Amino acid sequence: MDNTNAERQRRYIARLKAAAARGVSNAPDQRVAALEAELAQAKAHITALEKFLADARKAISVARRQQPAAPKPVKTALPPDEERDRIIKGLKTRVRNLTAELRMAREWNEIAKNRGMSFATRTTIMKAFHPDLPASEKAAAYDAALKAMTAWLASLSRGRT
């Protein structure tokens, strides 16, 4: 018996040809085909479930919109004396807050005047913190305010007024 590589290859090829002639199919190919069919079924099932989920979400959304809103509790009117006291209390709080804000603004202006801060520097700093300043301009305004404040502090440390 010849055991060379060429002889072994010939015998192997002959076995393959004999198996093909008998109709023996390759088992791994059948397994791949079965798995591909199973995968296709799984994908179809997943698609159907996703459609079902989307429909369920839509139905829930529609049902929520169709539900009547919970009735708001009816507020009972306060007696005139209590209503008046409530309004007065709110006004007192507002006056107290405005007074504190005015006091702080006066202190800030007094500090700025006593330290020699120019009107332009004060305006630059106040502009950066104005509530109506657009968001697109805030970064530039903050930068300008910090530069103005730094320059003012530097002038104080040098003894200039």
pLDDT in tens, the chain (161 residues): 568 888 989 999 998 888 777 765 566 777 788 888 999 999 999 999 999 999 999 988 888 888 777 788 888 888 888 889 999 999 999 999 999 999 888 877 776 666 667 778 888 998 898 888 888 898 999 999 999 989 888 877 765 44
Taking the C-alpha atoms of residue 91 and residue 98, their distance in angstroms, rounded to an integer, is 10
pTM of model > 0.95: no
* C-alpha radius of gyration, the chain, whole number: 43
Total count of residues recorded for the chain: 161
